[in-house]
A and B are shown apart, each in its own frame.
Chain A
C-alpha cells in the first residue's frame, strides 16, 4: 500500500473545500487593519472597505461573464437560493404562479419551493433519468404560460452530473420564463457565462471554491429586470435586495478565490479527470459489485459517487475512517435513510445505503488517490469476507 503521511485524507470537496493560501492571505488584512464598515460613507475606513468589496464583486462577476452590479452578496448559496426562489415567487406570483424545479435539487432549493407552495404557488418537480439528467423533451413539455421561474442546478452536489442548463435556459428565454441555476458546485470548476447561457439568476458559494464559509452571491441579470423581493430587509444595502452589513474579509476572500479559479480551472479540471478515470478504472466493475452513480461523462470529475453491492453502508463508512468521504450531502449527514438523489435516479434502497461520495479537489495529490484506491479495495474485500 502506498505510504501517506497525513491521514485522514480529505476527500469531501463537495461538502466544503480547504481555504486556498492565497485567499487566506488576501482576507486577513480585512479583520484588523482595514476593518471599516463598507457602508460607512463618511470616512476612509469605510471607503477602503467598500473599495475592497467592489473589487471582489468585479472578480466574481468576471468569472461568470456578468457585470459587477449584477452580483448581490449573500451569506452563502443557501441564502442566494432562498432569495432567488422565494424572492422571485413573492415578487411575481400574481403574474405567473408556477415554479419548475427538479427532484434532485439541493435541499435549500426544494425547501424554498415548498415554502412557496405554502404561500400558494404551484410547484412542479421534474424527474431525472437513471443517469441523473433531466430529459429535455420532458422539460420543454412542462413549460407553459403560467411558469414564472425555472430553477435547475448546474452540477449536482451528490452525484456530480451536469444538467443541460444551457439548452434549458435557451428554451426559457424564448418563452420569457426566468431561469435560475444553483451553480454552487459548478462555479470555478467549469466555464460559466451567464450571457452566453441565457441565465437570469445564478447562486454562487465561496466555500466550495477554496474561499471562506459564510459568503455567497446571487447573480441577477440586469436586462431581465428581474427584481426578487428581498428576504432580508433593513438598511437597504446591496441595492435594497439584501440588507445587513457586508463582511469585507469574506467578500475579498470570495473574490480572490474566483480570481485563482479563473487562472487554474483548466489545469484543475484536467488533473481531476485523470484521477476520476483512475479511480473509476480501479473500483468500478460489475464483477466487483461497484457502480458509479450518475452519467459517466456529463459530470464534474471531482465528484465520484459509487454504490457497493452487498455491504452495510454504516459499517463501510466506519471502516474507512482514514478517508474523509461522505455518504451524501453534508447537511443531510445527520439524517438517516438513503439519499433522495440516489432514490430519484432509481438506485435500489440497499445499494443507496451503501454509497460513498468521494470528492476530489485542488489539494488532492497523486499519492492520495493511489492510497484511496488501495484502501477502498482492501476495505471492500474485508467487509465482503465478513459478510
Chain B
C-alpha cells in the first residue's frame, strides 16, 4: 500500500518510536515527588523545551493537551471573550465549539481561492460588541490554503481582540513562529508531524489566561488536569525537535506534488485544483477527477493500493460535501469529485509517480464508461 494521506495522520518517525519506547519503560507519575516521579517530570520538561523551540514560543507558554481538537476547544471556551469570529473553512472542532459556545459569533467567508475575506473580517471586528476572539487557521487541512495570519493578528490587535490560530496542519510544513505570527493562542498536534496520536498543545502567550477545560488535579499549572500522556508528550517533543528536517524536505515534496498536478491536468482540461495554487502547503493537492465521484475513485485507488482521502479524516465517514469546498463556492458536482493527496516525510518520488499513473488509468476507464 502507498500512503499519500499525511494530512490525516503521519507514520511515527523511527527516532520518535525509540523515544516513546524509552519513556514507556519509565514507571513514574510526573506529579510524584520521588525519584521515579522526577524522572517522569524531566520527560515533560524536555518535551516542553523541544516543542517551544520548534514553534518559537517559550516553554512556559506550552500547555499539553490530548490533541489539536482539545487545544482548539480549550481556546474557544477558555478565553473570556464575549464575541467569536471564525473563518468559514475552520476545522470542525472550531466551528462546533463556536456554535455551542452560546456566544454571538460571525463566520467570515473565504474567496474562491480559499483565502479569508479580510474586508469582511474587518467589518465584523468593527461591528462586534465586547471583547472579541478571532480564530483562524494557518493552513487548511483539506486544501492546504494558507491564511495571512500576521495580517489578521494585526487587525485583531487594532480592535483589541484576542487572536487564536489553529496551526495544526501548518506545523512542520511551513515555518511556524508563535512570536512572529503575533497571535495570542495557537494549537498544535503531534500526529501531523511524525509524532504519536493523543497529544498536542495549546500555546498561550505569557501573561494571558485560559480557563481549564478539564478540571481536576491541577496539572499543567492548573490549566489542564489529568495525568500527563508521558510517552505521547515525550514522542511529541522528539518529533518537534525534527521539524527542521521536515521543513528541509518541503522543496522536494513540492516538486513532486507539482509534477503530479501537471501530470493529472494533462489527462483532461476539466481537472480543477481546489484552492489558490500559489498560496498553499507544498505537500497538499486537492484535485477533481471530472465526472467521477470521489467514492468511486477511492474504491478503485484502494484496489490499486493507494491511500488518499476525500477530505478531512474526521468527516470522511460522512457523505456530505466538504464545508471547506462549499465555503469556496465550488459547485457540488465538482466538489463531489475531489480527492486530497498529501505527501509527507517518508513519501518516495516513485510512489507519487505511480499514483499519477494509477489516477490517470482510473480516469480513462471511468470517464470512458461515463461517456455515452
Interface residues of chain A, those whose CB is within 8 Å of chain B, are 8, 10, 12, 15-19, 24, 27-28, 31-32, 35-37, 39-46, 74-79, 81-82, 86, 106-108, 111-112, 114-115, 205, 207, 212-215, 231-237, 243-250, 317, 321, 324-326, 329-335
A10 — which chain B residues lie within 8 A by C-beta? Answer: 27-28, 36
Query: Are A215 and B14 neighbours in the complex by a CB distance under 8 Å?
Result: no
User: What are 26 sample pairs from A and B whose C-beta atoms fall under 8 A apart?
Assistant: A15-B37, A27-B24, A31-B235, A35-B10, A40-B5, A42-B309, A43-B3, A45-B5, A78-B214, A108-B226, A213-B230, A213-B232, A232-B73, A234-B69, A234-B73, A234-B96, A235-B92, A235-B312, A244-B66, A244-B67, A244-B69, A245-B69, A245-B191, A324-B34, A325-B34, A330-B29
Whether A245 and B31, one on each chain, are in contact in the complex, defined by CB atoms closer than 8 angstroms, is: no
Closest to A331 in B: B217
Q: What is the bound-complex CA distance between A141 and B226, given in angstroms?
A: 33
* B24 A212 Cβ-Cβ under 8 A: yes
CB < 8 Å neighbour of A214 from B29, B66, B91, B191: B66
> When the two chains form their complex, are residues A233 and B73 in contact, meaning their CB atoms are under 8 A apart?
yes
Given contacts A79-B226, A247-B197, contact A235 B315 (CB under 8 A): yes
- The reply to whether B314 and A237 form a contact with Cβ atoms under 8 Å apart is yes
B32 touching A43 by the CB < 8 A rule? no
A109 to chain B, nearest CB (A): 8
Please tell me if the beta carbons of B11 and A214 are within 8 angstroms of each other in the complex: no
CA distance A330 to B21 in the complex (A): 23
- Across the interface, do A39 and B228 meet the contact criterion of CB distance under 8 Å? no
Q: Write out the residue numbers on chain B whose beta carbons fall within 8 Å of the beta carbon of A44.
A: 1, 302, 307
- Residues of chain B contacted by A39 (CB below 8 angstroms): 8, 313-314, 316-317
Question: Which residues from chain B contact A334 at a C-beta distance below 8 Å?
Answer: 31, 33
A16 and B196 contacting across the interface, CB-CB below 8 Å: no
Contact, CB under 8 Å: A243 / B216: no
Q: 5 closest A-B pairs (Cβ-Cβ)?
A: A214-B229, A331-B217, A108-B216, A235-B314, A234-B93
Question: Is A234 a contact partner of B232 (Cβ separation < 8 A)?
Answer: no
B298 touches A213 (CB 8 A): no
B217 and A78 form a contact (CB under 8 A) = yes
- Smallest distance from the beta carbon of A358 to chain B beta carbons, Å? 12
Contact mask B88-103 → A, CB, 8 Å, 1/0?
0001111011001000
Q: Are B9 and A36 in contact (CB under 8 A)?
A: yes
Question: Chain B residue with minimal CB distance to A112?
Answer: B215
Residues of A within 8 A of B17 (CB): 28, 31-32
Pair A8/B35 contact, Cβ less than 8 Å: yes
Q: How large is the interface on B (under 10, 10 to 19, 20 to 34, 35 or more residues)?
A: 35 or more
- B217 contacts A16, CB within 8 Å? no
**B227 in the interface (beta carbon within 8 A):** yes
Given A234-B96, A330-B31, A75-B226 contact (CB < 8 Å): yes
Q: Which residue of B lies closest to A363 (CB)?
A: B27
Would B313 and A245 count as touching, CB distance under 8 A? yes
Provide the bound-state CA to CA distance between A163 and B369, in Å.
68
In the complex, A86 Cα to B225 Cα: how many Å? 14
Is the pair B9, A245 in contact by a Cβ cutoff of 8 Å?
yes
Report the bound CA distance from A77 to B306 in whole Å.
Answer: 38
Contact with B14, one of A32, A232, A250, A326 (Cβ below 8 angstroms): A32
Nearest Cβ distance between residue B217 and chain A, in whole angstroms? Answer: 3
Shortest C-beta distance, A244 to chain B (Å), equals 4
Say whether B279 faces chain A, with CB atoms less than 8 Å apart.
Answer: no
**B239: min CB distance to chain A, Å:** 11
From known contacts A16-B29, A106-B216, infer whether A31 and B314 are also in contact, taking CB-CB under 8 Å.
no
Interface residues in B65-84 (C-beta closer than 8 Å to A): 66-70, 72-73
Residue B370 at the chain A interface, CB threshold 8 Å: no
Q: In the complex, what distance in Å separates the CA atom of A247 from the CA atom of B12? A: 12
Q: Is the CB of A108 within 8 A of B225?
A: yes
The contact of B8 among A40, A233, A248, A332, by CB within 8 Å, is: A40
Count, A-B residue pairs, CB within 8 A: 275
Q: With A and B bound together, what is the CA distance between A212 and B215 in angstroms?
A: 21
B137 sits at the interface (CB 8 A): no
Given contacts A32-B12, A108-B215, whether A214 and B198 have CB atoms under 8 Å apart is yes
Q: Are B29 and A12 in contact (CB under 8 A)?
A: yes
The answer to whether A42 touches B316 (Cβ under 8 A) is yes
B314 to chain A: closest CB distance in Å? 3
* CB of B334 closer than 8 Å to a CB of A: no
Q: Which residues of B contact A40 (CB under 8 A)?
A: 5, 8-9, 307, 309, 313, 316
Q: Which residues of A contact B301 (CB under 8 A)?
A: 43
Residues of B close to A74: CB separation below 8 A: 66
With a cutoff of 8 Å between Cβ atoms, the chain B residues found around residue A326 in the complex are: 32-34
Residues on the A chain within 8 Å of B208, using CB: none
A16 with B9, Cβ < 8 A, contacts A41-B316, A44-B1, A214-B232 known = no
Compute how far the CA of A77 lies from the CA of B226 in the bound complex, rounded to whole angstroms.
7
Q: How far is the CB of B232 from chain A (nearest CB, A)?
A: 5
Most chain B CB within 10 A, of A31, A35, A325, is at: A31
Evaluate contact between A76 and B226: CB separation under 8 angstroms.
yes
Pick the contact of B314 from A16, A17, A234 — CB < 8 Å? A234
Answer yes or no: B343 CB below 8 A from chain A CBs. Answer: no
Interface flag for B20 (CB, 8 Å): yes
Cβ-defined contact, B32 with A330, below 8 A: yes
Tell me the bound Cα distance from A212 to B79 in angstroms: 31
User: Given that A75-B66, A321-B35 are contacting pairs, would A114 and B217 also be in contact in the complex, using a CB cutoff of 8 Å?
Assistant: no
- Nearest-CB distance from B43 to chain A (Å)? 11
Report the minimal beta-carbon distance from B5 to chain A, rounded to whole angstroms.
Answer: 6
Name the one of B16, B21, B216 contacting A28, with C-beta atoms under 8 angstroms: B21
B225:A78 contact, CB within 8 angstroms: yes
Known: A234-B73, A246-B197, A331-B216. 11 other contacts (CB 8 A): A12-B37, A15-B28, A31-B196, A40-B313, A42-B302, A44-B307, A232-B73, A233-B97, A235-B91, A245-B68, A324-B35
Q: Which residues of B contact A246 (CB under 8 A)?
A: 197-198
